[in-house]
Amino acid sequence: MKNKIRKFFSELNFFVSSEKFLLTFLFIILNNIYGAMALIFAWYSYIDSLFSFFTGSYYLLILQLCIFISVNTTLSQFEKNGALIIRFKNHKEYLKELFRRVVRNTLFVFIVNLIVALLILNLVRFYNIGVGIIDGYNISNVLYLIFYMARTCAIILLNALVFLYIMKNTSKNIGIVLCLIYLILDFIPLRETLYIFYFEYFRILICGTFIEEVIRSVIFIGVFGVILKIFHEYTTKHMKKLVD
């Protein structure tokens, strides 16, 4: 157990020590400063402001660009570690380990971003938490905030895997272009009742009731996960070599 914990923090420290992570961290700080200056108004409470951050299209774009950089950093570090790669018996083991590292590093970047957002809001909204009731759903806004953040984190993790599979199934330049196109989808002014696109779930109060929104979200994340599982298997079978 101790060895696993030591390995976990050793790998995380290796990821954090990279120059690209420092660039990512700088983007996170600037993005949250932008959020504090452009996305909130004087009458917004702490909770209102946090919602405003994580539903802002430009804010989400920069955050997911940070995730994209994180995925590429993880992929680059992993593929340069020849001593590690030669231990894998097959592509399945290789991709499983890469999958684990992408998920871990993406979750870490998301948590760092959330902490920075909370710290900045502590400076400008600490006097007005704004705990209350969501009128449309008749539930606590704190409960809805927890649900919304969990859903946002899950979708961003799934998007990180989209980036991974795109990069592993295309050339580097084509992969970067495709990933950027995928991110820009968030700016499509689309509003439909089926909620089949990931960016629809970056909005709030999207259904008639809270239970309906929870059910729709669980179904969407489940279907998204199944689709990515298919891509995972495809990538495993069609990888010609372990490294590019």
What is the pLDDT, as a whole number, of residue 189? 66
Residue 65 lies in a domain: yes
Nearest to 205 by CA among 151, 154, 130, 155: 151
- Number of domains the chain contains: 1
The answer to the question of residue 86 being in a domain is yes
Q: Minimal CA–CA distance to 99: which of 168, 7, 172, 181?
A: 168
User: Does the pLDDT of residue 42 top 70, yes or no?
Assistant: yes
Q: Considering only CA atoms, which of 186, 191, 195 is closest in space to residue 159? A: 186
- pLDDT of 239 above 60: yes
Tens digits of per-residue pLDDT, 110-168? 999 999 999 999 888 777 888 999 988 999 999 999 999 999 999 999 999 999 999 99
Q: What are the Cα distances from residue 150, in Å, to 122, 157, 194, 202, 220? A: 21, 11, 21, 11, 14
Gyration radius of the chain over CA positions: 19
Is residue 197 in some structural domain?
A: yes
218 located within any domain: yes
What mean pLDDT do residues 214-240 have?
A: 91
- 194 within a domain of the structure (yes/no): yes
Full-prediction pTM beyond 0.75? Answer: yes
Cβ atoms within 10 Å, residue 210: 17
**Average pLDDT across the chain, whole number:** 89
Quick check: is 244 in a domain?
no
Question: What's the domain range around 148?
Answer: 2-238
